[in-house]
Each structure stands twice: as structure tokens, then as C-alpha cells.
A and B are shown apart, each in its own frame.
Chain A
């Protein structure tokens, strides 16, 4: 079965600083990987996804993530954080099921942005 580990419960950065959120996964084959963002009391919005191809994936809102098979990682990065980026971030891995996938989520990392 697949699993996702987000080792950091909270991350605090200053506005304008760079950001990296860690994600490690466990899955026997090439996974489908995702990053979602959740604002308080809201659903999830997809930031980016990796299925195959280029291991550096560009997403919305200036985010990117890099798939590193050797490290089983899919870390999320942003070069300059804005105060509006403060939210909960979830990494997810999708196990294929009959040509489709069912995502499993990590526990999330709460991003706090200081002015």
C-alpha cells in the first residue's frame, strides 16, 4: 500500500523568503504525486502534479516540485513566499487502480508566514 510522509507539521518563514516543504512517499511502482493547498474551512486546490516525464514540475501560484526517485521524495518549493501563501499543504500519492488512481494524503504541513 502507498503512504506519504510529511515530516514537518509546521513551517514558519518570513515573507519574501524561499520555501521548501518536504514530502516522502512509499509506493512500489512509479507513483502519481500531487501537492494540494487548503485554506481554513475550505476544500483542496491542486497546486501541481507529477505523472511522468520531466521530474521538475511547475504549478500554480509560483510553486514547483521535483520528483526524486532515488530519495522517494517530491518536495514543494517556492522562491519567494507571499503572506497569502499561509495555508495547509498536503502531499498526496496516487496508486493506480484500473487505469485510474486513488489518492492517499500526508498529514499536512501548516505554513506560517511572518511579515
Chain B
């Protein structure tokens, strides 16, 4: 079946540094990718929708200068948390949608801890 690879699975960084999270669709082309944030025991909150070759669409309240999203190819989207602070600590999950619109696959998530 289709696989979405998300890397790294866990990252610990110092406050003020930037962290990049990669999301790859391994055996299909993902025209659209979604980035979610999940707090402990909470639901997934959509942060942004990225379409290949165009700017990401951010949800209300999400700082686009802080959470930089790049979807440069049909198989790769990256989320960069810039100047990370402890409040950015969270579980980030990406998902990718293939050209058959009803198929949506999720990465295994990245646990970000900012010290």
C-alpha cells in the first residue's frame, strides 16, 4: 500500500534554533499535502495545506513566517519551524493525498521538543 515517510520521528532542539521536518510520499505522487499539529490527548489541528509548486494555505492563527512550508515536488513537502520556542513543542503529522482524491495517507509523525 501507499506509504508516507515522515522524518525525523523525534527531535530535541534548543530554543531559537530552526527545525526541518520532511514528508515524502514513497510510491505515489502527492499533489496536496497537509500539515497537522497534535497536542497530547487532543485532536489533530490542521495547520496548512500545501500544493505542489504553489504557496501553502495556512489556517487562521497559524504564523506562516514561523512555520515555513515548501512543497517543491510531487513527493516531498517540508515544514520548517523557525526560531523554535518551548511552546512549539508538539507532535506534528503530515498527510499526503494522491491524485485519486479519496486516498489520504498519513506519516508516522514527528515529536518536537524545544528546550
Contact = CB atoms under 8 A, between A and B. Distances in A.
Interface of A: 32, 36, 41-46, 49, 51, 90, 99-108, 110
B54 interface: no
B34 A102 contact: yes
Interface of B: 4, 6, 32, 34, 41-44, 46, 49, 91, 93, 95, 97, 101-102, 104-109, 111
B108 A46 contact: no
8 smallest CB-CB distances across A and B, nearest first, come from A43-B106, A100-B101, A44-B106, A107-B43, A43-B108, A105-B43, A105-B44, A43-B109
Please report whether the interface of chain B is mostly helix, strand, loop or mixed according to DSSP: strand
A32 B109 contact: no
A46 B44 CA distance: 14
B93 A43 contact: yes
A101 B109 contact: no
Nearest to B111: A41
A103 B96 CA distance: 12
Nearest to B59: A102
A102 B107 CA distance: 16
